[in-house]
Each structure stands twice: as structure tokens, then as C-alpha cells.
Structure 1
Amino acid sequence: MNQIDLKERVLVVTGGARGLGYAVAQRALESGASVALWDVDAARLEQSRAELSRLGKVSAHTVELTEEASVNAATQATIDAHGAIHALINNAGITGGNGVLWELEPDVWRRVIDVNLIGPYLTCRAIVPQMLKQGYGRIVNIASIAAKEGNPNASHYSASKAGLIGLTKSLGKELATKNILVNAVTPAAAKTEIFDSMKQEHIDYMLQKIPMGRFLQPAEAASMIVWLASEDCAFSTGAVFDLSGGRATY
């Protein structure tokens, strides 16, 4: 495993209690970072904090990412615990299940947008001022190959992740001269617990679209994400990095 230098850096990982977020937290800790796990699931959060603490300093914060007050409180609690926030990994997301657009309920559609797009807006809004004070920061937004292609039976998810790419490009330009870099990754499906909310036919559809013929491994995603969160990533901002096993067409 290649060594990435994150010594004395503090990473916030949203949705850090499981799946890709957990893998990112683990790789960051192995790279010398301290990590703040943000998640809405308090019980799973504490379990993950206990497991990961053997690798380094980990704090756990129960956060509802769609609520400004909750995000602001978690930001302050993280700064109190660690003294700084050097990188933000906007990983938390939901699929909202599958269905054609005209059969998806409006409250389901809105919830996916709230978690997947409004959530990253609120975390960036809360944390960027701290990064500006430091004169340093890295933000990595976890989008999806669905943002590029528009998966059928996932209009809400596809639209939310496409919006996250737009946010990445806009914020990257706004911060380009501030030593705060903002990038996104577009994973193909990784076999994590998020599959539990999908229909089998949708899972099969995603697999047959991947030229490499397999799903993404969380550790593979973590390698790229943690590099983007490091100082070695120095001249890429507002960019979108492929993690699709050859599926991406642009």
C-alpha cells in the first residue's frame, strides 16, 4: 500500500460510520491523520469510533446533515476536539430506492436532494470559513457515475449527484486562490450496505455496465479520496475523478 502523508491533519468524514466513509477514515488514520466521524446513526457511530481508535485519534459526532444547527454544532465540536479541520469528505448519501420518476413520491425525491446535495452545501458553508482562517483546506465530494449518465429508475439520486458535481466546480473556482481545493469523485457502485435499499434488478443493471465486470472495493475508493485530501493534490480543483471501472464516457 502506498503511503499518503496526512500527519497532523484532521479529516471530517460524513457518513463515516460505515461503507465508503469507514474505509476513507481507516485509510486516513493509517496515513497519520486524526478523524472526526459524522453520522446520523449514533449506535453505529460509536461502534465505528471504537474500532477505528486503535489506529489513531477519532472523535464521533451525531449529525443530521440537512439541519444547519446540527452541522454548525458538529463543526464546532470537531474544532474543539481536534483544534482544526484540514479536509472535508462529503461522503454521506442515500439512494431513496428505485422507481420511475412519475411513481416516486415527492417527499422521497426531496429527501434524497436534501441529504445528497443540501447536506454538502451546509457542511461546506460551515467548514470553509475555518479553512480560510487556516489558509489551507481540501474538500472531496463523493458524487457518482449516475451523475454523468443519469441512471434509469434513479432520477432523484442521479440529479442529486449531478448537482454535487456542479457545486464542486463552482466552489473550486471560488476558492482557487485560497489554497483550498475542491474535487469530486464519481464511483461506480461499491457493494456496501447501501445495496440494501436497491432492487436486485437495479444492482444487476449497474454491474453489467462496468467494463471491469466487478463492483468497486471501498479500499480502492479510499486510496483516491485520501490522496485528494492530502497536500500532494496541489493543482487540481473543481475536477471530477473517475472511479467507474471503465464505465465513464466523459
Structure 2
Amino acid sequence: MNLLKFDSTEKLNEAGAGIITGLIQTNRRAVLGLATGGTPVGIYGEVVASYRRGLVSFKEVTTFNLDEYVGLPEEHPESYHSYMEQHLLRHIDLPREQAHIPNGNAADLQEECRRYDALLDKAGQIDLQLLGLGHNGHIGFNEPDHALISGAHVVTLREETRQANARFFPSLADVPTQAITMGVGTILKAKMILLVVRGADKAEIVHRALTGPITTDCPASLLQTHPHLVVLLDNEAGRLFP
């Protein structure tokens, strides 16, 4: 594990974007696993800036998003389809057919999970998986449980997860109760995992995830088993680390 702390948001964003664009510069056909939420917004902004400066092209890149809400129309401003359009896809030259996001409105959600896993299998190993971290230790929408599912699946979101995401919606009642998420097994198969965590409210859970016992009660703790884990923390999130 390579853990880095940053004393400014700008430096963290630049470092995260540099890892992503550096990979694409050396492997123009890179397969990226992408995350959403507040954490990676600034990183995507720096990636877009690098593209606009002509430093990187996404024409041969393939991307797979971690998750999507169930039942939220793609055009809804809080869907992850809309998020990716707003923060990344509309600003770069990635062909849309190479950008994959689960369909949370599929008529058969189980079949959609199988379809998504088949696309991942066809693409081969993810070269870099970008992750944030939930307050309860979830990665993607893999919630704490007695067992974790390897492949894509439908998950019922825990109340604390919905409450954490309620800031993006008019009210808690508007937050979807289910999502499709990439499985932990798929995440851990990535060649490299880039975990980005910000804020004092995440300090205890990121410390537990990276130094505590490996347990499905904290899905992110399984990242300790990964051979190429890079962790980017701001000083607040990293306050419990030396």
C-alpha cells in the first residue's frame, strides 16, 4: 500500500488526475473503473484540464462505472449517468459506446447485472479502479454484510448510506432505496486501485479500513489484500495516520 497525504485539495486532485492520465499516456487502451460522488469531482476536473491541454486522449479508453441507482431516470440530475456527463464525458473525446454505466431502469435487473459482468469480462482486467469510501466502509455500493458478492448485483442501500447521499436530493425520501453495483470481487481484480478519501468525518473509517481487521463488516478493509493499492488522503481524513 502506498499512502499519501496532502495539505491542499488542489494537490490531491492534481495527484489523482496525474495517476489516471499517466496510465493512459502509457497505455492508450486502458480500462478504467470510475467512481462518482463528491470525492472525485476535482480529480475529474483536472483530468479534463489535461485533455484540453492536449496531454491525453481517451479515444481508445474503455470505462466502467461502479454503480447506478435503481429507478432513477438517466436524465435525472442525480443519476450517475448525469453525473458522468456533467463532470467528465461531455468534456473529453471518449466514444460513448466505450463508456459503460449500469442501467438502473432495466426491465430485468438481474439480467442487467449479468450483462454488465459480461461486458467487464470481455474488456479484460480493469487497469485502474478509482474508489471513494462510504462512512460505513462501503466501496461502490457494497454495504457491510455477513458476506459480500463478487459480481454485479442489486443492493438495498443502508439507511446511513441514504442519509449521507440525501444532501444531493430534495429530501431523504427522494433518495433511491436500491442500486446496481459492481461486486467486490471485480473491484479487487483491478491491476491498480486508487482510493481517495477526504474530510475529518472519514478519518476513523479510513483508518479502520486500512489498519483494522479484514472483515465483510467493513468492505473497504478487503483493500488491504490488494497488491497495488494507492491511497490519497487530505490531512483531515489522514489525521490518524503518522
**What TM-score bracket applies, with the shorter chain setting the length?**
0.3 to 0.5
When the two structures are superposed, what TM-score results if normalisation uses the length of structure 2?
Answer: 0.43
> Of Structure 1 and Structure 2, which has the larger fraction of its residues in helix?
1
RCO higher in 1 or 2 (8 Å CA, sep ≥ 6)?
2
TM-score by length of 1: 0.42
